[in-house]
Structures are given as C-alpha cells and as structure tokens.
Amino acid sequence: MSGRAWVLLLVLCGSIFLEGSDVAMLAVAIPTIRADLGLTTGTAAWVMSGYVLGYAGFTLLGGRTADLLGRRRTFLVSLGVFLVFSMLGGFATGGWMLVVARFVTGVAAAFMTPAALSIITTSYPEGPQRDKALLVFAGVGAGGFSLGLIIGGLLTELGWRWVFFAPVLVTCALLLAAIKLVPAETRPAPARHGYDLAGAASAAAAMLLLAYGIIRLEHGGDDLGQTLGALAAGLVLLAAFIVIERRARSPLVPPRIFRKAAMVRADVAAMLFLGAFFGFQFIVTLYLQELRGWSSLQTAIALIAMGCDAVLAPVLTPRLVRRYGNARVIFGGFLLAVVAYGLFLPVGATWPYLAMFPTLITSGVAFALAYGPLTIAATGSVPEGEQGLASGLLYTFTQFGGAVGISAATAVYGLAAAGADGSPAATLAAYRTALVVPVAMVVVGAVISAFGLRTAAPADRREHAEPATRTAG
C-alpha cells in the first residue's frame, strides 16, 4: 500500500473507532450524568438506547444511500451531523435533549459506518491489500469499544460533558482529513425509474419498530402489550417492504442480492457472533459490578483484555486468512468463542481475576479471528455498485445481533432471578444461567459457518461481478 492509501485507511478507521468508543464512553458516564441531571432510571436507559435505536433503524438505508448518492458525499455529510449532535449532547440540560442528541447521532453513524466500509471495498484492490484494510478496520472498531471504556472513565473524572466534547474534536480532525483524502468518485447516475421512496420508508419504519421492541425487552418494560405490538408492527412492515421490493422497478434492496449464499451466511453468522459477544460482556459487567462490587473503572480495566483483537486483527488474522482462507478462520473463531464463553459458565462468587483472564483474552482472540473475515465474506461477492448495500446489511445484522444478545441474556437473567430469594448465591446462579445464552449463540453460529468449509481455501478469493477501482493503492 502507498503512504496515501495508509493515511486514507487511518481516516476511515478513525470513523469506526469514533463510533465504537462513543458508545463505550457513554456507558461508563451514564451513572454520573443521571445523578447530575436528575434523570429517572427510564430516561437514563433511553439515553443509551436512543443511539442504538437510530443506528439499527437506519443502517440499511444508510448503506444504500452511499451507493445511490455517492459514498464520499454520504460519509462527509454523516460525519458533519455526528459532530453537530455530539456537541449538542455536551450542552444538554435535560434528559430529552440527550435522548434526541443520541438518537440523531446514531442515525448519523448508520450512514457513516457503511459508507466508510464501502469506500474501503471500492478503493483498495481485491486480494491481500483489501483484506488487510478490512481486517484493520474491523480490529480498530472493536478496539475503539474496549479503549472507550477506559477513556470514558478518565473523561468522566474531568466532567461528563467531555464524553461528548472529546468526540467533537476527533470528528473535526477526521472531517478535515476526509475532505482532502477520500477519493472523488463519479457521481452516480439517477435511478432510471426514480428512487424507491416507498421501500425506504417501509424499511426504516420496520427497522425502527423492531429495534424499539427489542430494546423494550432489554429494559424489561412493564407494558408487554406495547412491546409485542411494536414487534408485530415491525414484522408487518418488514413483510410489506419485501412485497414492495419485489414489485419496485428500482428497488432499494434488489431481492437478487439474497441469492449470494456466502453473503447471507456471513451476515447471519456475524449477527450471532456479535450478539454472543455483547451478551457475554453485559452479563460479566453485571457480575463484576453488582455481585463483586467493582467500580466502573475497575470493570473497564478488567475487560480491556477483550480488546486484544485490536492488535491481533491487523497482524495475525491476515496471515491466517492467506494461509487457510476465510471460511476456516471464521470457523476457528467460533470454536474459540465456544471455548471462551464455556469456561466462564462455572464462575464463582470469589473468582480471582486470574481465573477470569483466560476467558477474557480468549474471547478477544476469537473476535480477532472471526469478525474481520466475516466482514470480508459479507462484502466479497457483491459488485462494486452495491457495496454500500452489502455494508448496510452487515451492520444491520450486527446491530440487531447485539441488541438481541443483550436482550436475551437480560431476559434469561431476569427469569432466573425472579424465582430466587435474592441471596448472593441465587444471584450467582442467575448469572450462570444467563451465560448459557452467548454459548448457545456461538454454537449455532459455528454450525452455520461450518457450511462455508465446503469451499476450498483458495476459492475463498472473492469474485466480484464488477472490477474494483484502485484509487487508494
């Protein structure tokens, strides 16, 4: 790669680092924000979930927008929106302002992240160079979340508003660099039969309702009827979206894209892998803070071992992919995740950190092995003109996977704890029961990814329907 190609990759990785660290920093700061602004428990929960709702609801639309209106334009505009609403969050004086700011910031991330990924897949030539770029991108994203926990704890000590203002400074630098470095592209021709507005509206509404329903399950809302109603309405709108796409002359999501078995398999596997990862991390956080009494900063430092993928993904994983192929590395990552989460099932009430460390470090290695190659597989067989769509689909699946993983683990923990006497032993038993959820998810994911083993390693090289441009290298 040329020096300019590396600098471009640094800017694009900066955006995914920003997205990951932004979520993590707020997770650490939310107790302080709640106390300072006098937020209710429900409002504080929606400050966190507003971002997820916006992200999950618009990622599919964001990815397709990059294809139809231009990747560079989508990336720059979404960075600008991210900057403005992060700043507004820092000046917030009430809960509703924070919820709105976080929701719009999540929407901006839903356009920014797929655009960044599609810029990589269309700017770096197919083969080792693109694989390296994608693996670095995926590793930096995961590392951003892990490091964000530490950064959030430090910034909160200075004042919780810095959790919002620090991303503003980073976004400013990225935006200025991106204007100069992101390669210009031929402006996409307008769709021959116009844009699929009905498909866009139904897709966004369906994703929003489904995300809202899943998040309500995570929050344990008392109004089960409203939760089920949101999920049912989301499914109805999703069915309507499918009908619209089949009839549309210029569909937002061409149904033919789902004939790409490797892409669909990678998306589903990524959904299960991310769901298990975040579900496991959520339960471990509860265990450390509620049962063991660790502080937020102590917990963040303990979990930093899971961020080893930020180093391994760009260094180790490319070599393994070149030697064994995507399918085998992905399958190995899933098997390692099964081992990692399984080792934590018998967790004790007084386990020393050294007893937890093998699980934490192994889960990070598993992430390094699986997530980057899944990104390659999810975009590899898709033509250049639909790379934004492929990226949007991948992030839609992973966002819903994370939400489902946390919600399922929360639901199982709640059910197990409901019939208990509230003693430390009963609480520990509920944690152990909830830990079965991430184990089950990675087991299913391993079975799905095993179907890719039928393809020989050399055949793992992607075959694009259209040649990739080489503006970065």
DSSP string, 213-236: HHHHHHHT-S-HHHHHHHHHHHHH
Give the mean pLDDT of the chain.
Answer: 84
Is the CB of residue 111 less than 8 Å from the CB of residue 64? no
Among the candidates 183, 198, 223, a domain finishes at 183
Write the CATH number for 378.
1.20.1250.20
Whether 272 and 418 share a structural domain: yes
Per the structure, the count of domains in the chain is: 2
Whether 276 and 357 share a structural domain: yes
Whether 152 and 292 share a structural domain: no
Question: What is the percent of the chain where pLDDT is above 70?
Answer: 92
pLDDT band at 346 (very low <50, low <70, confident <90, very high): very high
pLDDT at position 189 = 63
Among the candidates 159, 183, 207, a domain finishes at 183
Whether 276 and 405 share a structural domain: yes
pLDDT at position 179 = 93
In a domain, 82, yes or no: yes
In a domain, 396, yes or no: yes
pLDDT at position 466 = 39
Question: What is the percent of the chain where pLDDT is above 90?
Answer: 30
In a domain, 414, yes or no: yes
pLDDT band at 471 (very low <50, low <70, confident <90, very high): very low
Q: Can you state the percent helix, strand and coil of the chain, rounding each to 5?
A: 80, 0, 20
Query: CA separation (Å) from 463 to 262, 317, 467?
Result: 11, 21, 9
Whether 288 and 435 share a structural domain: yes
Average pLDDT over residues 220-226: 69
pLDDT at position 470 = 39
pLDDT at position 192 = 61
pLDDT band at 81 (very low <50, low <70, confident <90, very high): very high
Residue type, 209: L
Greater model confidence, 45 or 316:
316
Full domain range(s) for residue 115? 1-183
Which pair of tokens denotes residue 146?
């892990």
Greater model confidence, 253 or 428:
428
In a domain, 300, yes or no: yes
pLDDT digit string, tens, across residues 318-330: 888 888 888 899 9
In a domain, 347, yes or no: yes
Q: Is the pLDDT of residue 151 over 60?
A: yes
Helix axes 71-90, 95-123, angle to 10 degrees: 160
Among the candidates 138, 161, 183, a domain finishes at 183
Is the CB of residue 79 less than 8 Å from the CB of residue 175? yes
Report the distance separating Cα 37 and Cα 33, nearest Å: 6
pLDDT at position 195 = 67
Residue type, 74: T
Whether 114 and 29 share a structural domain: yes
Whether 167 and 260 share a structural domain: no
Burial 206-215 (b: 16+ CB within 10 A, else e): bbbbbbbbbb
pLDDT at position 111 = 93
Q: Is the pLDDT of residue 465 over 60?
A: no
In a domain, 235, yes or no: no
In a domain, 449, yes or no: yes
In a domain, 238, yes or no: no
pLDDT digit string, tens, across residues 379-419: 887 887 788 888 888 988 888 888 888 888 888 888 887 76
Whether 132 and 277 share a structural domain: no
Whether 150 and 17 share a structural domain: yes
Q: Is the pLDDT of residue 219 over 70?
A: no
DSSP-based three-state secondary structure for 211: helix
Whether 276 and 371 share a structural domain: yes
